[in-house]
Amino acid sequence: MFRTATFIAVICLCSFSATGAYAQPRVDESEYYKARLVPRNTAKSFIVYHVDTERIVAALNPDYVNSIASLAKMMTCLIADERLKYDIKYTLTQDEAKALKLAQPQAKMSKKDPKESGGLFPDEPPPPPPPVQMTLNQMIDLAMVPSNNTVCKIIARLIDGDESAFANRMTTRAAELGMEESIYCNSTGLPSKFTQHSTARDQLLLALEVLKRPKLIESAAKHSIFHLEQWDSTMLYLKERYAVRGIKTGWTNAAGRCMAILLEHPKHGRFVIVMLKSASIPQGFVDAEIIMSRFGLIQLTPDAGIKPMEGKIPASG
C-alpha cells in the first residue's frame, strides 16, 4: 500500500496546500531531512502519515523489521472487537482472576457437629468461590491504557482456547490487512522463543484499521482507568501536552521503545506516527517530540526533551 524509499520526507505542514495534498520533495531534500533528524532521533524506524489525505509525510526505514513489544496488543484488541461481544460478561478462570487481583477469598471448611452427623460423614467441602466476570470494554481498557498482559491472554483463550492458536489468527489477520512483514507469536508482545516481528509500515496499516473501531479509539484515548486503583495511560506524557489521543506503546529490551500515535492537529487533521526501537522509554517520548515538531505537528513544551518523563515513567508497555 505504501511502498517508499528508505527515507522519505515529503513536506513540512507550513507548506500544506489548499487542495489538502502535499507537494513532492525535490530529489536532494531527503538527504537534508535525514541529516537533520537522524543525529537527534534514536528511533531506528518511523513513518508519519496524514490520515485525511492518505499521504505519507515522512518515513525513515519504514520496512525495518523489528520486535514490536506491546504494539501487538493493537492486533489482539482488533480481533477481540471483531470476534467478541460488548453486551455480555465473560467468566474468568480462577488463575486469571487471581492474576488480575479479582479472585474472591475461598470459604473455609465447614465442620459438622459429630453428634449431629453421627460421625458418619466427613467435613463438608467449601463452596466454590463466586465466578468473576469482565466485559469486553473492561478488557480492552486494561490492554490499551496501562498495557495489561493478563487480559490479552484472556482474550486469546476466549477466542481460540490458547495463545498458540490465537497467535496464528493474529498473523493471518495481519496478512489480510496487507501486513507483509508481520509475524505474531502471542497476544501480548512479550518476548518469545519464536521470532515475533513487524515493521513501521505494517503497524501503520494496523493502526489505520484500529481507527475504524470507535470502541478501540475510545479506550486508547483515555488518560487513565480505574481497576482496583488508578492506572495511567502509558502515553500519558504526550496526551497531557499535545493533541495526542493514543494509540499504543510498547517496550522490551529487544524491541526498544515502540509507539503508534494518533495526533489530531487543530488545522490539518489526523496523523498517525509509528516509531520502532527508540533507545529507552523516556527517549521514545523525546523522539516522538522531535519527529512531530520537525514536521510542524506540535510546538514543543518548555520541558520537552529535558525531563520528558520525570515522575511519569510507566512500568511497562
Q: Which residue has the higher pLDDT, 13 or 263?
A: 263
Q: Which residue has the higher pLDDT, 185 or 300?
A: 185
Give the 3-state secondary structure of the chain: CCCCCCEEECCCHHHCCCCCCCCCCCCCHHHHHHHHHCCCCCCCEEEEEECCCCEEEEEECCCCCECCHHHHHHHHHHHHHHHCCCCCEEECCHHHHHHCCCCCCCCCCECCCHHHHCCCCCCECCCCCCCCEEEHHHHHHHHHCCCCCHHHHHHHHHHHCCHHHHHHHHHHHHHHCCCCCCECCCCCCCCCCCCCEECHHHHHHHHHHHCCCHHHHHHHCCCEEEECEEEECCCHHHHHHCCEEEEEEEEECCCEEEEEEEEEECCCEEEEEEEEEECCHHHHHHHHHHHHHHCCCCCCCCCCCCCCCCCCCCCCC
Most confident of 24-38, 161-175, 269-283, 294-308: 161-175
Among the residue ranges 93-97, 195-199, 255-259, 295-299, the one predicted with the least confidence is 295-299
pLDDT, residue 19, reads 31
Q: Which residue has the higher pLDDT, 23 or 229?
A: 229
pLDDT, residue 299, reads 80
* Averaged pLDDT of the chain: 81
pLDDT, residue 118, reads 52
pLDDT in tens, 233-276: 999 989 988 999 999 999 999 999 999 999 999 888 999 999 99
33, pLDDT greater than 90:
no
Is it true that domain 7-86+133-294 has CATH number 3.40.640.10? no
pLDDT, residue 23, reads 27
175, pLDDT greater than 50:
yes
13, pLDDT greater than 80:
no
pLDDT, residue 298, reads 86
When pLDDT is averaged across residues 106-118 and rounded to a whole number, the result is: 54
pLDDT in tens, 176-204: 999 999 999 999 999 988 889 999 999 99
- Residue with grid cell 495526542, as numbered in its chain: 244
Q: Which residue has the higher pLDDT, 125 or 160?
A: 160
Domain assignments of the chain as residue spans, ordered by start: 7-86+133-294
pLDDT, residue 312, reads 37
CB 209 within 8 A of CB 202: no
60, pLDDT greater than 70:
yes
Using 50, 70 and 90 to split pLDDT, how confident is the model at 107?
low
Q: Which residue has the higher pLDDT, 287 or 33?
A: 287
Within 13 Å and on the Cβ side, how many CA atoms surround 280?
6
